Structure 1
Amino acid sequence: MRSEVTVTFKDTAPLRMDLEKAEPMSAEAARAWLDRQFTEMGCEPLRPTGKVLTADKVVVVAQAAGPSKFTDAGWAGEFARAASAALGKPVVHVDVPALSIGY
């Protein structure tokens, strides 16, 4: 089964991270990794209520990281593993300009 995470930024080619040979991350570890990144990058909730859904967290962390952070293969791999595990999907597309996630 195909397993990858794709992140799209405005005016750049989509960034694809293949997870076929990557060791899976547990959902709990994935949420913890995303929480740390969310806090370290000073991210803000998308919703005015302040509630942060897991999908929102994935999008906001990708947005805060920007294309330059994804040039770090180690960080990009961890992001991909965390996004896939936290969302429970083997194929994830993060569309940063649209602030959306597709499966």
Structure 2
Amino acid sequence: MARTLTVVFGNGKEFAFTVGDAELAALSEEAGWRWFDREYAELDCQASSPVGKVLVIDKILSVAKFSGESRFTEDAAWAANYARHAARLLDRDKVRVDVSNAAISF
């Protein structure tokens, strides 16, 4: 079954992605972690936890936040990769990444 991932920024701008079964099957969980680890490091994201532990939800939110709305608008290939890897790691039918409220809902 296809997954739907929506990334929402504070100004009401939403980016919706549908990730098909074939796309998900082509990605391993490890590949998803590597993608987010690399993006997190390249963007110089900061851990939101005071003990420094970074959960997958923290990485998904931080990469969206530090990339900003403009990257989702201007780089469709990157945005599609973000959606595919997030959908693979979260493994839920519908995901909403609310950047301004720092929340992910299913």
Alignment of 1:78-93 (within 5 A): 78-93=81-96
Which structure shows the bigger proportion of residues in helix conformation? 2
Aligned length: 103
| 1:12 CA displacement | 3.0
Q: What TM-score do you get using the length of structure 1 for normalisation? A: 0.92
Q: More displaced, 38-47 or 5-14? A: 5-14
Q: TM-score, normalised by structure 2?
A: 0.90
Which ranges in structure 1 are unaligned for 5 or more consecutive residues? none
Which segment drifts farther, 18-27 or 51-60?
Answer: 18-27
CA distance in 1, matches of 2:60, 2:52: 15
CA RMSD in angstroms comes to 1.4
Q: CA deviation at 1:90?
A: 3.1
Q: Percent identity?
A: 39
Checking the alignment, whether the CA contact within 8 Å between 2:2 and 2:21 is kept in structure 1 is no
Moved more, 81-90 or 24-33: 81-90
- Partner SS, residue 70 of structure 1: helix
Corresponding residue for residue 18 of structure 2: 18
Three-state SS of the structure 1 residue aligned to 2:11 is coil
